[in-house]
Structure 1
Amino acid sequence: MSSGPLYRDPWAKREAWRKSPIFANKAMFRNIFPGFAWGVGAFAAYVIYDDFIAKKPAGGHH
């Protein structure tokens, strides 16, 4: 006798996508905001440039 299950699930192929690592909770939360890290980095670079490097007008209200 075989040690496998006694029945064969006819829907197993159609349900296999649910066990794919792409649909795991960790992968879903990691890819919720795909460009967020690049956006935060670009914004931080802009703020640093604007505050420290860019020329400010001399003698005026800002």
Structure 2
Amino acid sequence: MSNLPLFRDPWAKREAWRKSPVFSNRAMFRNLFPGFGIAVVAFTAYVIADNLLLQEKDSKAAHH
């Protein structure tokens, strides 16, 4: 007796794409917001730079 399954799915080849790692939940979530990580880093750098520059201008204005 062979180890083949008793029921063979004639649509198995056509349904194989669903099991592809491209369509996994992790890949879908990672591609949900493209560029979001870069935007967070850029915005954080902008806020830090703005706060440092404002702090320097405020300190200069207070001395005069």
TM value normalised by structure 1: 0.73
Match of 1:8 in 2: 8
Q: Which has the larger helix fraction?
A: 2
Ranges in structure 2 where 5+ consecutive residues have no aligned partner:
none
TM value normalised by structure 2: 0.71
Q: Which amino acid aligns with 1:49?
A: A
- Post-superposition shift, 1:6? 2.5
Q: Considering only aligned residues, what root-mean-square deviation do their CA atoms show, in Å?
A: 2.2
Q: Which amino acid aligns with 1:56?
A: K
Deviations 1:1-50, CA, capped at 9 Å, x for gaps: 21111333221111000001111112212221121110010011111111
Give distance in 2, aligned partners of 1:28 and 1:56. 45
Match of 1:56 in 2: 57
Give the 4+ runs in structure 1 shifted more than 6 A: none
Q: How many residues align?
A: 59
Give distance in 2, aligned partners of 1:30 and 1:21. 12
